[in-house]
Amino acid sequence: MRALAIGLTMLALFGCEGSKDDLQQYVMEVKARKVPVKEDVPEIKPFEHLAYQASERRNPFTSPAPEAANTALSTEKECSLAPNAERTKQALEQFSLSSLTMRGILGDGPSLWALVEAPGGELYRVKKGYYLGLHHGVITKVSDLGLDIQEVVSDGEGCWNERTTQLSLSKADQ
């Protein structure tokens, strides 16, 4: 039985062989074709290495050094206002005021508390005297409309200026 299967398989394989004359004829025609060669092929110039010669400037292949901020107080000016550098920073002083959202008010009368949402969704309960924002901002007033914040901002020349900012309760939260 096995011999019969092998015999039929061999017969089938020999029966599939056909004439390849037309294929061989086509291959010979393709090989006989002449390929046109362009005579005006541009000449390839050899690569020339250029050395970096601006050694007095910063190396463009290294990261630049961070700029140093001028935080020293000017000796020519007399600055009476400065933030308290000894004070421990509170949790909301790591966020800019534009990233904080006032979400609500708690309490009544003179003892109002505000709910402030930080990036990431965490809520903080704050009142007058609490610090928030990147510019040494202290809450001076909590009202049902929002927070009044007094910030101490550097003038860039060693002194500090005060500015008043508000963080309002948005209309959608009221």
For 167, the 3-state DSSP assignment is: strand
Domain assignment present for 113:
yes
Per residue of the chain (174 residues), what is the pLDDT tens digit?
Answer: 777 777 777 766 665 566 778 888 999 999 888 888 777 878 888 988 888 777 777 777 777 666 544 444 444 557 778 888 888 888 888 888 888 989 988 887 778 899 999 888 899 999 999 999 888 899 999 888 889 999 988 887 778 889 999 988 876 555
Site of tokens 């860039």: 156
Query: What integer pLDDT is reported at residue 54 of this predicted model?
Result: 77
* Residue 143 forms part of a structural domain: yes
Asked if residue 39 belongs to a domain, the reply is no
Whole-model pTM: value is: 0.53
Cα gap 31→21, rounded to integer Å: 16
Assess if residue 28 is contained within a domain.
no
CB 77 within 8 A of CB 159: yes
Looking at the domain assignment, is residue 106 inside a domain?
yes
In whole angstroms, what is the distance from residue 27 CA to residue 6 CA? 35
Residue 149 domain-assigned (yes or no): yes
CATH code: domain of residue 110 = 2.30.30.830
pLDDT of residue 77: 59
Does residue 129 sit within a domain?
A: yes
Say if 13 falls within a structural domain.
Answer: no
Domain residue limits at 147:
97-168
For the chain, the domain total comes to 1
- Residue 169 DSSP label: B
